[in-house]
Amino acid sequence: MINQEMFDLGAEPNKIRELFAFGLERKAAIGAENVFDYSIGNPSVPAPDCVTQAFRDLLQMDPVVLHEYTPSPGDPQVRAAIADYLTRTFGLAATPGNVYVTSGASSAIAITLSAVCEPGDEVIVISPYFPEYRTWTHTAGCTLVEVPAQVPNFQPDVAAIEAAITERTSAIIVNSPNNPVGAVYSRESLTALCDMLARKEAELGRRIFLVADEPYREITYGAEVPYLPSLYVDTIVCYSFSKSLSLPGERIGYIYVSDRMLDAGAIFTAVCGAGRALGYICAPVMLQRAVAKCLGTPSDVEAYAANREILTRGLTELGYEFVEPEGAFYLWVRALESDAVAFSERAKDFELLLVPSDSFGATGWVRLSYCIARDTIERSMPAFKALKESYR
Ligand code: PLP
């Protein structure tokens, strides 16, 4: 009667959203100020003024024209503005024909995987990883192959990735700055990864696409974020404005397929086809036009940097172990027992909402989203202390 796979997906609890919903209930019951909700990655800094001004200006347009469908890959002027921005910023010539505007990175990745993979192919992810990669890979009819990152620096383990590549590998998803760990992949690791991928492509005689998932590109605390299309020709960039412009609910991003890659035109056509097959008529039009006016607007990284400082200092004093975050706004903290789900449950007793690492394909850790009010972080410290003491 119904598609069992889709039913299972709908019924499967998403731990992040489950905790977020639990937090809303607790806030209603005991007051928002008494719940320390580190569950979800909703940016806590407001969208920059540029976005508000762009919306004001857009509302002056003829409403019939303003709200029209755009061509599926996006408004030609918006694609041109993005291409121009990419060329200016990264020094590789991009054209409007290389840019497909999407409803955020989620649809960008789902479209890209469907465009470049055949059913039965394998997609490599570096664990821990963003949980929806599993969903999009399966929807493309492919198998997810998890390769753990190196511990303790959480950089890609190039030798292990090489060992995981088979004659069915068609893509690897690379997310740096990383959710959930906060690592930023170094130029050295990425160069080693890209050199190995190029060698494997030649050896196997097949394309291995690097899908660069980049919602956090601009959110770093000083680390360099190398531009992957410069390091590896078969890179497809999946960008999002959800975090850089604090617009997560608005759904806007893009795919960039560089002309430098072999058969770039055919790959872009497959992207258009996958977008069509998945039901994306065009990305939200007001958002397309608004972000085109705000390309390059700096994110308020200072706010996240201050949160990071308060949180890491506080947890260090309490003796928690964590990965020093270099980017994004997540902290990867070692659970105080081997079962991270049990640890997350225990944390709830102290009104701390921490996502267990099992959701990200790893055991024994929890993820804290610190894109929350600074004051909440400060007031949560006694709760972290009590949680730690409960394990004595
Ligand atoms: N990829 C990563 C690593 C993310 O953290 C997120 C959102 O949190 C996404 C993709 C999806 O982002 P978007 O809101 O652009 O769909």
Does the Cβ of 175 fall within 6 Å of ligand 1?
yes
State how far the Cα of 59 lies from the Cα of 64, in Å rounded to an integer: 11
State how far the Cα of 289 lies from the Cα of 287, in Å rounded to an integer: 5
* 200 CA distance to ligand 1 middle (Å): 28
State how far the Cα of 212 lies from the Cα of 192, in Å rounded to an integer: 16
Q: What pTM does this model have?
A: 0.96
In total, the chain counts a number of residues equal to 392
Q: Any residues with CB less than 8 A from the CB of 67 and at least 6 apart, and which?
A: 285, 286
Does the Cβ of 242 fall within 6 Å of ligand 1?
yes
pLDDT at 364: 97
* Ligand 1 atom 5, closest CA: 179
* Cβ atoms within 10 Å of 284's Cβ, excluding its own: 16
Does the Cβ of 130 fall within 6 Å of ligand 1?
yes
Taking only the tens place, the pLDDT of each residue in 13-72 is 788 888 999 999 999 999 999 999 999 888 989 999 999 999 999 999 999 999 999 999
pLDDT at 14: 82
Sign of CA dihedral 37, 220, 116, 274: positive
Give the CA-trace dihedral at 101, 137, 16, 14, to 10 degrees: 120
pLDDT at 1: 86
Instruction: Report residue 331: phi and psi, to 5°.
Output: -120, 130
* Ligand 1 atom 8, closest CA: 41
Taking only the tens place, the pLDDT of each residue in 204-256 is 999 999 999 999 999 999 999 999 999 999 999 999 999 999 999 999 999 99
Does the Cβ of 248 fall within 6 Å of ligand 1?
yes
Does the Cβ of 178 fall within 6 Å of ligand 1?
no
Which ligand 1 atom is at minimum distance from the Cα of 104?
15
Count of alpha carbons within 13 Å of 92, Cβ hemisphere only? 17
Does the Cβ of 140 fall within 6 Å of ligand 1?
no
* 339 CA distance to ligand 1 middle (Å): 26
Does the Cβ of 253 fall within 6 Å of ligand 1?
yes
Mean pLDDT of the chain: 96
- State which residues of the chain have pLDDT below 50: none
Count of alpha carbons within 13 Å of 152, Cβ hemisphere only? 8
* 61 CA distance to ligand 1 middle (Å): 31
Ligand 1 pocket mutation, candidates 14, 130, 278, criterion most atoms within 8 A of CB = 130
Give the CA-trace dihedral at 266, 96, 99, 208, to 10 degrees: 40
